[in-house]
Amino acid sequence: MQTTPLPSFGRLPFTLSGLRAGFRACIPVSVGVAVYGVLFGLLARQKGLSFLEAESMSLFVFAGASQLIALDLWGPELPVFSLIATTFIVNLRHVLMGAALAPQLLRLSAGKAFGSLFFMTDESWALTLTRWAEDRRRGALCDGGFLLGAGLAVYTFWGASTALGHVLVRGLDDPARYGLDFAFTAVFTALLVGLRPRRADVLPLAAATCAALLAARFCPGKWYILAGALAGGLAAASTGPAKANPPDGTSPGTSPGTAAGTAAPGATAPGATAADNAQPKADA
Amino acid sequence: MMDAAALSPLALSLATICGMAVATYASRAAGLMLMSRISPGPRLTRFMQAIPAAILASIVAPSALASGSAEAMATLVTALTAWRFGNLPLAMCAGVAAVLALRPLLG
């Protein structure tokens, strides 16, 4: 652990090219997100939400799972408090995701950090995490713009596809018919592989997997993500010594957030290659 | 929320959407706010270091391991593709193609 005081690490860059790299890297995943945006727009219309209501939800709430769950609760007698409380609970996993990016976000201005967080989704979070881990591995500075760029890609596709689903689509096949329901599993699997877990990560990963499987079986909604994350974290906290910081000097010594960075020497970040390869899926 | 009955239906639903937006943003901002106020000890450091991979594993686990052998095999194909080529769109397409091919065979 270094003892250098925090300020000496300075600010991270936040550039337009970083933002564009994030946007490009996130396009393939965003195409998958858009399939569900169309579905949301269509279901919202069937539930009686006006275009204004459906589109406001996609642009201001901007959280796929909680929006689809909200449709379930939506009715003539609006359960205002259940809707808001359910939304918060479904999104609790974001607390841990935001905390995991803190080492980098704390080195941006508050406006940039908290502004970027508005656009953070599971997908853009995961891409940014692996990209910044790869940057740290190579001893390069992380570009703070990447998170915002990746988030904006999802945001654009989500907003546009909601409108499309509400206005145009009269009927939609089940995405599972084309295997598209599996696209997200595939993306997150690839990102997990990109972190190149080491031997020390086996126990936390096993704990996370078991807890997630149990929670998915017995609890509704997205509780399984939070349950698995907490189980993995607790397993790691109760065993073994902390991993040493990588010798790149880019991480604040007092910070926990070597998180992603330590996981994986020598991996190719999916995010890095995604930029050169951003054509949408042929079958989407 | 003030007196719900005093609001028109549209105003009420837009106010609800606002409340949902605030709840979502609070969840997105809370992690950074917490981490900016504390300096974690070794245990919390280990906890936080394990979080990213644990979240990814948790997202994947139910659909990869508990929805059928086609999904489990396709997850393996995805992981191997990602391992070998380090290319996200390629791994995503391989996974979708594998699940499409395997579902009729394995059910």
pLDDT single digits (tens) A188-197: 899 899 888 8
Q: Are residue B3 and residue B25 in the same domain, yes or no? A: yes
Confidence class for position B6, pLDDT limits 50, 70, 90: low
Q: Are residue B18 and residue B51 in the same domain, yes or no? A: no
Handedness of CA B9, B11, B17, B22 (dihedral sign): negative
How many Å lie between the alpha carbon of A5 and the closest alpha carbon of chain B?
A: 12
* Inter-chain touch A259–B86, beta carbons under 8 Å: no
Only one residue has tokens 């979240």, namely: B55
Q: Are residue B46 and residue B34 in the same domain, yes or no? A: no
Domain range holding B61? 42-107
Q: Are residue B87 and residue B52 in the same domain, yes or no? A: yes
Helices (H), chain A: 16-46, 51-56, 64-73, 80-90, 93-100, 102-105, 110-118, 122-137, 145-167, 181-194, 202-218, 223-237, 258-262, 270-274
CA distance A72 to A155: 22
How many Å lie between the alpha carbon of B3 and the closest alpha carbon of chain A?
A: 12
* Inter-chain touch B47–A236, beta carbons under 8 Å: yes
DSSP codes, A69-111: HHHHH--SS--HHHHHHHHHHHTTHHHHHHHHTHHHHTTS-HH
**Residue A227, pLDDT above cutoff 50:** yes
Q: Are residue B6 and residue B49 in the same domain, yes or no? A: no
Confidence class for position A10, pLDDT limits 50, 70, 90: confident
Interface test with chain A among B2, B14, B55, B80, by most A beta carbons within 10 Å: B55
**Residue A103, pLDDT above cutoff 90:** yes
Q: Does B105 touch chain A (CB under 8 A)?
A: no
Nearest to B32 among A49, A81, A99 (CB): A99
Q: Are residue B46 and residue B62 in the same domain, yes or no? A: yes
CA distance A232 to A226: 10
What is the model's pLDDT at position A245?
Answer: 45
What is the model's pLDDT at position B107?
Answer: 65
**Residue A212, pLDDT above cutoff 70:** yes
Overall number of domains in chain B? 2
Q: Are residue B28 and residue B62 in the same domain, yes or no? A: no
Q: Are residue B61 and residue B98 in the same domain, yes or no? A: yes
Q: Are residue B17 and residue B33 in the same domain, yes or no? A: yes
Q: Are residue B32 and residue B50 in the same domain, yes or no? A: no
CB contacts of B89 in chain A (<8 Å) are 28, 274, 277-279, 281
Nearest to A115 by CA among B51, B29, B10: B29
Q: Which of residues 60-79 of B touch A (CB under 8 A)?
A: 60-66, 71, 74-75, 78-79
Q: Are residue B33 and residue B78 in the same domain, yes or no? A: no
Q: Are residue B59 and residue B83 in the same domain, yes or no? A: yes
